[in-house]
Structure 1
Protein backbone atom coordinates (compact mmCIF):
# COMPACT_ATOMS: atom_id res chain seq x y z
CA UNK A 1 0.00 0.00 0.00
CA UNK A 2 1.44 3.38 -1.00
CA UNK A 3 0.09 6.76 0.09
CA UNK A 4 1.06 10.19 1.41
CA UNK A 5 0.59 9.94 5.17
CA UNK A 6 0.49 13.71 5.56
CA UNK A 7 -2.77 14.07 3.65
CA UNK A 8 -5.81 14.12 5.92
CA UNK A 9 -8.71 14.24 3.47
CA UNK A 10 -10.08 11.09 1.87
CA UNK A 11 -8.56 10.22 -1.49
CA UNK A 12 -9.39 7.96 -4.41
CA UNK A 13 -7.80 4.53 -4.50
CA UNK A 14 -6.07 2.81 -7.41
CA UNK A 15 -5.25 -0.88 -7.73
CA UNK A 16 -2.06 -1.73 -9.64
CA UNK A 17 -2.07 -5.21 -11.19
CA UNK A 18 1.49 -6.27 -12.13
CA UNK A 19 2.94 -7.81 -15.24
CA UNK A 20 3.14 -11.60 -15.32
CA UNK A 21 6.40 -11.40 -13.37
CA UNK A 22 4.38 -11.02 -10.17
CA UNK A 23 4.55 -8.61 -7.26
CA UNK A 24 7.95 -7.12 -8.06
CA UNK A 25 9.71 -3.79 -7.56
CA UNK A 26 8.29 -2.38 -10.80
CA UNK A 27 4.70 -2.87 -9.59
CA UNK A 28 5.55 -1.29 -6.24
CA UNK A 29 7.24 1.60 -8.00
CA UNK A 30 4.08 2.29 -10.00
CA UNK A 31 2.07 2.28 -6.76
CA UNK A 32 4.48 4.85 -5.32
CA UNK A 33 4.18 6.95 -8.49
CA UNK A 34 0.42 7.02 -8.00
CA UNK A 35 0.80 7.91 -4.33
CA UNK A 36 2.90 10.89 -5.39
CA UNK A 37 -0.10 12.05 -7.44
CA UNK A 38 -2.31 11.97 -4.35
CA UNK A 39 -3.90 8.54 -4.66
CA UNK A 40 -3.82 5.59 -2.29
CA UNK A 41 -2.40 2.77 -4.40
CA UNK A 42 -2.21 -0.95 -3.77
CA UNK A 43 -0.04 -3.30 -5.84
CA UNK A 44 -2.11 -6.47 -6.21
CA UNK A 45 -0.72 -9.92 -5.40
CA UNK A 46 -2.47 -12.01 -8.05
CA UNK A 47 -0.35 -15.14 -7.44
CA UNK A 48 -0.49 -15.23 -3.65
CA UNK A 49 2.40 -15.21 -1.22
CA UNK A 50 4.01 -12.17 -2.83
CA UNK A 51 5.60 -14.33 -5.53
CA UNK A 52 7.77 -12.76 -8.23
CA UNK A 53 10.22 -14.04 -10.82
CA UNK A 54 12.39 -12.95 -13.74
CA UNK A 55 12.01 -16.33 -15.48
CA UNK A 56 9.41 -16.16 -18.28
CA UNK A 57 8.73 -19.90 -18.05
CA UNK A 58 7.80 -19.59 -14.38
CA UNK A 59 5.85 -16.38 -15.01
CA UNK A 60 3.94 -18.06 -17.82
CA UNK A 61 3.06 -20.98 -15.58
CA UNK A 62 1.73 -18.71 -12.84
CA UNK A 63 -0.20 -16.55 -15.29
CA UNK A 64 -1.57 -19.68 -16.95
CA UNK A 65 -2.96 -20.91 -13.63
CA UNK A 66 -4.81 -17.63 -13.20
CA UNK A 67 -6.04 -17.71 -16.79
CA UNK A 68 -7.47 -21.20 -16.34
CA UNK A 69 -9.31 -20.28 -13.15
CA UNK A 70 -11.35 -17.07 -13.63
CA UNK A 71 -13.02 -17.55 -10.25
CA UNK A 72 -9.67 -17.53 -8.45
CA UNK A 73 -8.56 -14.51 -10.47
CA UNK A 74 -11.70 -12.62 -9.52
CA UNK A 75 -11.45 -13.68 -5.87
CA UNK A 76 -7.89 -12.37 -5.56
CA UNK A 77 -8.73 -9.16 -7.38
CA UNK A 78 -11.81 -8.60 -5.22
CA UNK A 79 -9.83 -9.27 -2.04
CA UNK A 80 -7.42 -6.51 -3.04
CA UNK A 81 -10.31 -4.22 -3.95
CA UNK A 82 -11.99 -4.73 -0.56
CA UNK A 83 -8.68 -4.15 1.25
CA UNK A 84 -8.21 -0.88 -0.61
CA UNK A 85 -11.78 0.22 0.08
CA UNK A 86 -11.26 -0.41 3.82
CA UNK A 87 -7.92 1.40 3.98
CA UNK A 88 -8.04 4.51 6.15
CA UNK A 89 -8.04 7.65 4.03
CA UNK A 90 -9.59 6.00 0.96
CA UNK A 91 -12.89 7.15 -0.49
CA UNK A 92 -14.47 3.77 -1.35
CA UNK A 93 -16.76 5.43 -3.86
CA UNK A 94 -13.79 6.46 -6.01
CA UNK A 95 -11.75 3.43 -7.05
CA UNK A 96 -9.94 2.64 -10.31
CA UNK A 97 -7.54 -0.08 -11.43
CA UNK A 98 -4.56 -0.07 -13.75
CA UNK A 99 -2.62 -3.04 -15.06
CA UNK A 100 0.49 -3.85 -17.05
CA UNK A 101 0.71 -6.67 -19.63
CA UNK A 102 -0.87 -9.63 -17.76
CA UNK A 103 -2.25 -7.09 -15.30
CA UNK A 104 -3.80 -5.12 -18.12
CA UNK A 105 -5.62 -8.24 -19.21
CA UNK A 106 -6.80 -8.76 -15.63
CA UNK A 107 -8.25 -5.27 -15.19
CA UNK A 108 -9.97 -5.44 -18.58
CA UNK A 109 -11.44 -8.81 -17.66
CA UNK A 110 -12.71 -7.44 -14.35
CA UNK A 111 -14.33 -4.49 -16.08
CA UNK A 112 -15.94 -6.77 -18.67
CA UNK A 113 -17.25 -8.96 -15.83
CA UNK A 114 -19.04 -5.98 -14.32
CA UNK A 115 -16.84 -5.31 -11.28
CA UNK A 116 -17.83 -1.99 -9.71
CA UNK A 117 -14.93 0.30 -10.61
CA UNK A 118 -14.94 3.88 -11.83
CA UNK A 119 -12.32 3.19 -14.45
CA UNK A 120 -9.64 0.78 -15.62
CA UNK A 121 -6.46 1.42 -17.60
CA UNK A 122 -4.56 -1.29 -19.46
CA UNK A 123 -0.92 -0.66 -20.37
CA UNK A 124 0.17 -3.03 -23.17
CA UNK A 125 -2.20 -5.73 -21.98
CA UNK A 126 -3.45 -8.54 -24.18
CA UNK A 127 -7.12 -8.18 -24.99
CA UNK A 128 -9.64 -10.61 -23.48
CA UNK A 129 -12.20 -11.70 -26.07
CA UNK A 130 -13.58 -14.91 -24.51
CA UNK A 131 -16.96 -14.57 -22.83
CA UNK A 132 -18.25 -11.37 -24.46
CA UNK A 133 -19.85 -8.93 -22.00
CA UNK A 134 -23.60 -8.45 -22.14
CA UNK A 135 -25.18 -5.06 -22.88
CA UNK A 136 -24.87 -2.62 -19.97
CA UNK A 137 -22.70 -5.08 -18.01
CA UNK A 138 -19.59 -2.91 -17.98
CA UNK A 139 -19.77 -0.20 -15.31
CA UNK A 140 -16.20 1.06 -15.52
CA UNK A 141 -14.86 3.45 -18.11
CA UNK A 142 -12.05 1.73 -19.98
CA UNK A 143 -8.78 3.05 -21.41
CA UNK A 144 -6.52 0.76 -23.43
CA UNK A 145 -2.96 2.01 -24.03
CA UNK A 146 -1.56 -0.21 -26.74
CA UNK A 147 1.73 -0.57 -28.57
CA UNK A 148 1.36 -0.43 -32.33
CA UNK A 149 4.13 -3.03 -32.72
CA UNK A 150 2.83 -5.35 -29.97
CA UNK A 151 3.07 -8.81 -31.52
CA UNK A 152 1.13 -10.35 -28.63
CA UNK A 153 -2.11 -8.73 -29.81
CA UNK A 154 -3.32 -9.73 -33.27
CA UNK A 155 -5.39 -7.55 -35.58
CA UNK A 156 -8.21 -10.08 -35.24
CA UNK A 157 -8.13 -9.85 -31.44
CA UNK A 158 -8.21 -6.07 -31.57
CA UNK A 159 -11.16 -6.09 -33.98
CA UNK A 160 -13.05 -8.62 -31.86
CA UNK A 161 -12.40 -6.68 -28.66
CA UNK A 162 -13.66 -3.44 -30.18
CA UNK A 163 -16.73 -5.14 -31.60
CA UNK A 164 -17.62 -6.76 -28.27
CA UNK A 165 -17.13 -3.54 -26.32
CA UNK A 166 -19.31 -1.57 -28.73
CA UNK A 167 -22.07 -4.19 -28.58
CA UNK A 168 -21.95 -4.04 -24.78
CA UNK A 169 -22.36 -0.27 -24.85
CA UNK A 170 -19.06 0.21 -23.03
CA UNK A 171 -17.45 3.62 -22.58
CA UNK A 172 -13.97 2.81 -23.85
CA UNK A 173 -11.06 4.34 -25.70
CA UNK A 174 -7.98 2.78 -27.30
CA UNK A 175 -4.80 4.79 -27.84
CA UNK A 176 -2.08 3.20 -29.96
CA UNK A 177 1.57 4.25 -29.85
CA UNK A 178 3.19 3.76 -33.22
CA UNK A 179 6.23 1.49 -33.14
CA UNK A 180 5.89 0.61 -29.45
CA UNK A 181 6.30 -3.04 -28.52
CA UNK A 182 4.83 -5.14 -25.73
CA UNK A 183 6.06 -3.95 -22.29
CA UNK A 184 6.80 -0.48 -23.65
CA UNK A 185 6.53 1.14 -20.19
CA UNK A 186 9.13 -1.05 -18.48
CA UNK A 187 12.77 0.13 -18.69
CA UNK A 188 13.90 -3.47 -18.07
CA UNK A 189 12.14 -4.74 -21.19
CA UNK A 190 15.14 -4.39 -23.51
CA UNK A 191 17.35 -6.50 -21.25
CA UNK A 192 14.55 -9.05 -20.91
CA UNK A 193 14.22 -9.21 -24.69
CA UNK A 194 17.93 -9.94 -25.12
CA UNK A 195 18.14 -12.45 -22.29
CA UNK A 196 15.08 -14.51 -23.20
CA UNK A 197 14.54 -13.71 -26.90
CA UNK A 198 11.13 -12.13 -26.27
CA UNK A 199 9.50 -9.60 -28.57
CA UNK A 200 9.28 -6.85 -25.95
CA UNK A 201 10.92 -3.45 -25.72
CA UNK A 202 11.02 -0.21 -23.77
CA UNK A 203 9.83 2.98 -25.45
CA UNK A 204 10.45 6.13 -23.39
CA UNK A 205 8.15 8.29 -25.50
CA UNK A 206 5.27 5.84 -25.27
CA UNK A 207 5.84 5.40 -21.54
CA UNK A 208 5.67 9.15 -20.92
CA UNK A 209 2.68 9.73 -23.16
CA UNK A 210 0.73 6.78 -21.78
CA UNK A 211 1.32 7.92 -18.20
CA UNK A 212 -0.01 11.37 -19.07
CA UNK A 213 -3.06 9.78 -20.70
CA UNK A 214 -3.64 7.73 -17.56
CA UNK A 215 -3.37 10.83 -15.37
CA UNK A 216 -5.92 12.69 -17.46
CA UNK A 217 -8.23 9.68 -17.39
CA UNK A 218 -8.00 9.24 -13.62
CA UNK A 219 -8.66 12.92 -12.97
CA UNK A 220 -11.81 12.63 -15.06
CA UNK A 221 -13.21 9.39 -13.63
CA UNK A 222 -12.10 9.90 -10.02
CA UNK A 223 -12.31 13.67 -9.76
CA UNK A 224 -8.72 13.94 -8.58
Structure 2
Protein backbone atom coordinates (compact mmCIF):
# COMPACT_ATOMS: atom_id res chain seq x y z
CA UNK A 1 0.00 0.00 0.00
CA UNK A 2 1.35 3.41 -0.88
CA UNK A 3 0.23 6.88 0.12
CA UNK A 4 1.33 9.92 -1.93
CA UNK A 5 3.25 12.62 -0.10
CA UNK A 6 4.55 16.03 -1.04
CA UNK A 7 8.10 15.85 -2.36
CA UNK A 8 10.81 17.74 -0.52
CA UNK A 9 12.00 19.10 -3.87
CA UNK A 10 10.38 19.23 -7.27
CA UNK A 11 13.12 16.98 -8.69
CA UNK A 12 12.21 14.02 -6.49
CA UNK A 13 9.03 12.29 -5.39
CA UNK A 14 8.26 10.58 -2.09
CA UNK A 15 5.60 8.31 -0.71
CA UNK A 16 4.90 6.18 2.33
CA UNK A 17 4.92 2.41 1.96
CA UNK A 18 3.28 -0.09 4.29
CA UNK A 19 4.59 -3.63 4.60
CA UNK A 20 4.55 -6.45 7.19
CA UNK A 21 7.56 -7.33 9.36
CA UNK A 22 8.20 -8.57 12.89
CA UNK A 23 4.48 -9.06 13.44
CA UNK A 24 3.80 -5.37 12.74
CA UNK A 25 2.67 -3.17 9.87
CA UNK A 26 5.74 -1.14 9.07
CA UNK A 27 5.46 2.33 7.54
CA UNK A 28 8.51 3.33 5.51
CA UNK A 29 9.44 6.40 3.51
CA UNK A 30 10.39 5.90 -0.13
CA UNK A 31 12.17 8.64 -2.08
CA UNK A 32 12.62 8.50 -5.85
CA UNK A 33 14.96 10.57 -8.02
CA UNK A 34 13.82 12.44 -11.11
CA UNK A 35 13.38 10.42 -14.28
CA UNK A 36 12.01 6.99 -15.11
CA UNK A 37 15.16 4.90 -15.47
CA UNK A 38 16.42 2.29 -13.03
CA UNK A 39 18.81 3.55 -10.40
CA UNK A 40 20.98 2.14 -7.64
CA UNK A 41 19.16 2.01 -4.33
CA UNK A 42 19.86 2.50 -0.63
CA UNK A 43 18.16 1.17 2.48
CA UNK A 44 18.28 3.77 5.27
CA UNK A 45 17.92 2.42 8.82
CA UNK A 46 16.84 4.57 11.77
CA UNK A 47 18.10 4.89 15.34
CA UNK A 48 16.47 2.76 18.02
CA UNK A 49 13.77 5.35 18.65
CA UNK A 50 12.39 4.60 15.22
CA UNK A 51 11.84 6.26 11.89
CA UNK A 52 11.79 10.06 12.14
CA UNK A 53 12.12 13.07 9.88
CA UNK A 54 15.89 12.80 10.28
CA UNK A 55 16.02 9.54 8.31
CA UNK A 56 13.29 10.70 5.93
CA UNK A 57 15.42 13.72 5.06
CA UNK A 58 18.42 11.44 4.57
CA UNK A 59 16.42 9.37 2.09
CA UNK A 60 15.32 12.53 0.29
CA UNK A 61 18.92 13.74 0.11
CA UNK A 62 19.98 10.43 -1.42
CA UNK A 63 17.18 10.69 -3.99
CA UNK A 64 18.46 14.14 -4.87
CA UNK A 65 21.84 12.50 -5.53
CA UNK A 66 20.16 10.04 -7.90
CA UNK A 67 19.45 7.04 -5.69
CA UNK A 68 16.19 5.28 -4.94
CA UNK A 69 16.08 5.37 -1.13
CA UNK A 70 13.87 3.65 1.42
CA UNK A 71 14.00 4.79 5.03
CA UNK A 72 12.63 1.72 6.77
CA UNK A 73 10.60 1.32 9.93
CA UNK A 74 11.46 -0.54 13.14
CA UNK A 75 8.36 -0.22 15.32
CA UNK A 76 5.21 -0.44 13.24
CA UNK A 77 4.87 3.26 12.56
CA UNK A 78 5.71 4.29 16.12
CA UNK A 79 8.48 6.60 17.31
CA UNK A 80 9.52 5.49 20.80
CA UNK A 81 10.29 8.73 22.61
CA UNK A 82 10.34 7.07 26.03
CA UNK A 83 13.87 5.71 26.63
CA UNK A 84 12.59 2.81 28.72
CA UNK A 85 10.14 1.69 26.06
CA UNK A 86 12.80 2.05 23.37
CA UNK A 87 15.30 -0.08 25.28
CA UNK A 88 12.66 -2.68 26.12
CA UNK A 89 12.06 -3.22 22.41
CA UNK A 90 15.53 -2.66 20.97
CA UNK A 91 17.70 -4.63 23.38
CA UNK A 92 15.93 -7.96 22.65
CA UNK A 93 15.95 -7.08 18.96
CA UNK A 94 19.70 -6.39 18.93
CA UNK A 95 20.24 -9.73 20.67
CA UNK A 96 18.31 -11.60 17.97
CA UNK A 97 20.06 -11.57 14.57
CA UNK A 98 17.24 -13.48 12.91
CA UNK A 99 14.67 -10.85 13.91
CA UNK A 100 16.93 -8.09 12.64
CA UNK A 101 17.34 -9.92 9.35
CA UNK A 102 13.57 -10.38 9.06
CA UNK A 103 13.04 -6.64 9.46
CA UNK A 104 15.82 -5.90 6.97
CA UNK A 105 14.62 -8.44 4.40
CA UNK A 106 11.07 -7.11 4.54
CA UNK A 107 12.31 -3.60 3.76
CA UNK A 108 14.65 -4.94 1.11
CA UNK A 109 11.75 -6.69 -0.61
CA UNK A 110 9.88 -3.37 -0.79
CA UNK A 111 12.90 -1.63 -2.23
CA UNK A 112 13.54 -4.34 -4.80
CA UNK A 113 9.88 -4.30 -5.86
CA UNK A 114 10.07 -0.60 -6.76
CA UNK A 115 10.33 -0.42 -10.59
CA UNK A 116 12.94 2.35 -10.39
CA UNK A 117 15.30 0.15 -8.35
CA UNK A 118 18.17 -1.74 -9.96
CA UNK A 119 17.87 -4.88 -7.80
CA UNK A 120 21.52 -5.80 -8.33
CA UNK A 121 22.81 -2.47 -7.03
CA UNK A 122 21.66 -1.90 -3.46
CA UNK A 123 23.48 -0.61 -0.37
CA UNK A 124 22.41 -0.36 3.26
CA UNK A 125 23.25 2.53 5.56
CA UNK A 126 21.87 3.08 9.01
CA UNK A 127 22.13 4.60 12.43
CA UNK A 128 22.22 2.69 15.72
CA UNK A 129 19.75 -0.19 15.53
CA UNK A 130 19.12 0.52 11.86
CA UNK A 131 22.83 0.23 11.14
CA UNK A 132 22.96 -3.08 13.01
CA UNK A 133 20.13 -4.35 10.79
CA UNK A 134 22.20 -3.51 7.70
CA UNK A 135 25.18 -5.41 9.08
CA UNK A 136 22.97 -8.44 9.76
CA UNK A 137 21.78 -8.42 6.17
CA UNK A 138 25.42 -8.63 5.15
CA UNK A 139 26.13 -11.40 7.64
CA UNK A 140 23.13 -13.22 6.24
CA UNK A 141 24.70 -13.22 2.79
CA UNK A 142 22.61 -10.55 1.06
CA UNK A 143 24.49 -9.27 -1.99
CA UNK A 144 24.79 -5.62 -1.02
CA UNK A 145 27.22 -3.23 -2.70
CA UNK A 146 28.12 -1.39 0.53
CA UNK A 147 27.16 -1.23 4.21
CA UNK A 148 27.50 1.92 6.28
CA UNK A 149 26.67 2.17 9.98
CA UNK A 150 26.88 5.06 12.43
CA UNK A 151 26.79 4.03 16.12
CA UNK A 152 25.56 0.53 15.23
CA UNK A 153 28.74 -1.51 15.69
CA UNK A 154 27.01 -4.66 16.91
CA UNK A 155 28.99 -7.85 16.44
CA UNK A 156 27.37 -10.96 15.03
CA UNK A 157 27.37 -14.70 15.51
CA UNK A 158 30.79 -16.36 15.15
CA UNK A 159 31.92 -16.80 11.57
CA UNK A 160 28.94 -15.16 9.88
CA UNK A 161 30.77 -11.94 9.00
CA UNK A 162 32.62 -13.98 6.36
CA UNK A 163 29.41 -13.81 4.31
CA UNK A 164 29.76 -10.03 3.93
CA UNK A 165 30.80 -9.49 0.34
CA UNK A 166 30.98 -5.71 0.18
CA UNK A 167 32.92 -2.86 1.79
CA UNK A 168 31.81 -1.88 5.30
CA UNK A 169 32.22 1.62 6.70
CA UNK A 170 31.47 2.34 10.35
CA UNK A 171 31.47 5.60 12.28
CA UNK A 172 31.42 6.13 16.04
CA UNK A 173 32.05 8.91 18.54
CA UNK A 174 35.19 8.63 20.65
CA UNK A 175 33.17 9.41 23.79
CA UNK A 176 30.22 7.13 23.03
CA UNK A 177 29.55 5.12 26.22
CA UNK A 178 27.14 2.81 24.40
CA UNK A 179 29.80 1.85 21.83
CA UNK A 180 32.93 2.03 24.04
CA UNK A 181 36.47 1.10 22.95
CA UNK A 182 35.92 -2.56 23.84
CA UNK A 183 32.93 -2.74 21.48
CA UNK A 184 34.85 -0.96 18.75
CA UNK A 185 37.71 -3.42 19.19
CA UNK A 186 35.36 -6.41 19.03
CA UNK A 187 33.75 -5.09 15.85
CA UNK A 188 37.14 -4.42 14.26
CA UNK A 189 38.40 -7.89 15.18
CA UNK A 190 35.28 -9.52 13.73
CA UNK A 191 35.60 -7.66 10.43
CA UNK A 192 39.34 -8.30 10.17
CA UNK A 193 39.08 -12.01 10.96
CA UNK A 194 36.38 -12.36 8.30
CA UNK A 195 38.49 -10.70 5.62
CA UNK A 196 35.98 -7.90 5.12
CA UNK A 197 37.00 -4.68 3.37
CA UNK A 198 36.25 -2.48 6.36
CA UNK A 199 36.88 1.00 7.72
CA UNK A 200 36.19 2.55 11.11
CA UNK A 201 36.03 6.32 11.60
CA UNK A 202 36.25 7.54 15.20
CA UNK A 203 34.99 11.10 15.57
CA UNK A 204 36.85 12.85 18.36
CA UNK A 205 34.75 14.18 21.23
CA UNK A 206 31.44 12.86 19.88
CA UNK A 207 28.85 10.99 21.93
CA UNK A 208 26.30 8.38 20.85
CA UNK A 209 23.85 9.48 18.13
CA UNK A 210 26.07 12.49 17.41
CA UNK A 211 24.51 12.73 13.97
CA UNK A 212 20.98 13.28 15.33
CA UNK A 213 19.82 16.86 16.03
CA UNK A 214 18.51 17.50 19.56
CA UNK A 215 15.06 16.12 20.37
CA UNK A 216 12.38 17.45 22.69
CA UNK A 217 12.07 14.31 24.82
CA UNK A 218 14.31 12.40 27.29
CA UNK A 219 17.16 10.33 25.86
CA UNK A 220 19.42 7.68 27.31
CA UNK A 221 22.66 8.95 28.92
CA UNK A 222 25.61 9.46 26.62
CA UNK A 223 23.63 10.85 23.68
CA UNK A 224 24.53 14.22 22.20
CA UNK A 225 24.52 16.10 18.90
CA UNK A 226 27.81 17.12 17.32
CA UNK A 227 26.96 19.16 14.22
CA UNK A 228 30.47 19.26 12.77
CA UNK A 229 30.94 15.51 13.00
CA UNK A 230 27.36 14.93 11.83
CA UNK A 231 28.24 16.72 8.59
CA UNK A 232 31.49 14.77 8.30
CA UNK A 233 29.81 11.43 8.84
CA UNK A 234 27.23 12.22 6.18
CA UNK A 235 29.99 13.13 3.72
CA UNK A 236 31.71 9.86 4.54
CA UNK A 237 28.53 7.92 3.79
CA UNK A 238 28.02 9.77 0.52
CA UNK A 239 31.65 9.04 -0.41
CA UNK A 240 31.15 5.35 0.39
CA UNK A 241 28.16 5.23 -1.94
CA UNK A 242 29.98 7.15 -4.67
CA UNK A 243 32.80 4.62 -4.50
CA UNK A 244 30.78 1.42 -4.24
CA UNK A 245 27.45 2.34 -5.80
CA UNK A 246 27.95 5.13 -8.34
CA UNK A 247 24.79 6.51 -9.89
CA UNK A 248 26.39 6.21 -13.34
CA UNK A 249 28.68 3.25 -13.77
CA UNK A 250 31.62 3.29 -16.16
CA UNK A 251 30.90 0.45 -18.62
CA UNK A 252 34.63 -0.12 -18.96
CA UNK A 253 35.02 -1.05 -15.28
Fold agreement, TM-score > 0.5? yes
Q: Displacement of 1:129 after TM fit?
A: 2.5
What residue number does 2:233 align with?
Answer: 210
Provide the residue aligned with 2:176 in structure 1: 150
In the alignment, what sits opposite 1:11?
39
SS of equivalent to 1:181: coil
1:122 Cα deviation after fit: 0.5
Equivalent position to 1:87, from 109, 114, 139: 114
Q: Would the aligned equivalents of 2:138 and 2:161 in 1 still touch at CA under 8 Å?
A: no
Q: What SS does structure 2 have at the residue aligned with 1:93?
A: strand
How far 1:135 sits from its partner (Å)?
7.1
Judged with a 3 Å threshold, the aligned counterparts in structure 2 of structure 1 residues 78 and 144 are, in CA distance, closer, same or farther, namely same
Q: Spell out, residue by residue over 1:28-52, the C-alpha distance to the aligned partner (whole angstroms, 9 max, x if none).
A: 12211211111111111223x2121
Following superposition, the deviation at residue 206 of structure 1 comes to 0.5
Of Structure 1 and Structure 2, the greater strand share is in: 2
Deviations 1:165-214 (A, max 9, x none): 1111101101111111111111125x55xx44621111111011111111
Q: Please give the secondary structure, in 1, of the residue aligned with 2:163.
A: coil
Question: Are positions 1:96 and 2:135 aligned together?
Answer: no
Structure 2 residue aligned with 1:162, among 174, 188, 192? Answer: 188
Q: Distance between the aligned counterparts of 1:197 and 1:43, measured in 2?
A: 23
TM-score by length of 1: 0.90
Q: Which residue of 1 aligns with 2:96?
A: 69
Match of 2:87 among 57, 60, 74: 60
Instruction: Give secondary structure in 1 for the equivalent of 2:107.
Output: helix
- What 5-or-longer segments of structure 1 have no aligned partner? none
Alpha carbons of structure 1 residues 69 and 153: separation in structure 2 relative to 1, 3 Å: closer
How far has the Cα of 1:163 moved from its partner? 1.3
Q: Secondary structure at the match of 1:107?
A: helix
Secondary structure of the structure 2 residue equivalent to 1:57: helix
Deviation at residue 23 of structure 1 after TM alignment: 2.0
Superposed, which structure 2 residues align to 1:102-117 within 5 Å? 102-117=129-144
Query: 1: CA distance between counterparts of 2:98 and 2:160?
Result: 18
Cα deviation, 1:82-112, whole Å, max 9, x if unaligned, reads 1101101111111001111121222223223
Q: How far off its partner does 1:68 sit?
A: 4.1
Contiguous gaps of at least 5 residues in structure 2? 1-29, 248-253
Aligned residue-pair number? 218
1:136 CA drift (Å): 3.8
Give SS of 1:33's match: helix
SS in 2 for 1:175: strand
Cα gap change, 1:197/1:137 in structure 2, threshold over 3 Å: closer, same or farther? Answer: closer
Q: TM-score of the superposition, structure 2-length normalised?
A: 0.80
Greater helix percent: which structure?
1
Cα RMSD between the aligned structures? 1.8
Q: Does 1:182 align with 2:205?
A: no
Equivalent residue of 2:122, what SS? strand
Q: Do 2:49 and 2:80's aligned partners in 1 also have CA atoms closer than 8 Å?
A: yes
